[in-house]
Amino acid sequence: LARLLYDEMQGKAHFELNAWVCVSDEFDIFNITKVIFQAIGGGNQKFKDLNLLQVALKEKISKKRFLLVLDDVWSESYTDWEILERPFLAGAPG
């Protein structure tokens, strides 16, 4: 059901960027961020540092409305979520 809604929303102009990211059993912030960056058109740039990757992601989504679906996530760590969400605070409201 979520996938059908996502596919329908991709055709709409409400969101400037869309990404559906399947998360593995291991909640690896660096890898998840890298896959998100690639999914929104960030290319295959090489990053060795999470901070630099998050800065690049932040610049890519800055002041843009985006739809991001993280599928099959199993982490309940508040700290992990706080770190992962940092770049997304730069997006446009709505």
Q: What is the pLDDT of residue 26?
A: 83
Nearest to 88 by CA among 12, 2, 19: 19
Q: Can you give the pLDDT of all 94 residues of the chain as single tens digits?
A: 677 776 676 656 678 898 889 887 788 999 999 999 999 998 889 999 999 999 999 999 999 999 898 988 888 889 999 999 999 999 998 7
Q: What is the pLDDT of residue 1?
A: 62
Contact (CB, 8 A) for 6 and 22? no
Q: What is the pLDDT of residue 3?
A: 73
Question: Model's pTM, two decimal places?
Answer: 0.85
- Strand (E) or helix (H) holding 49: none
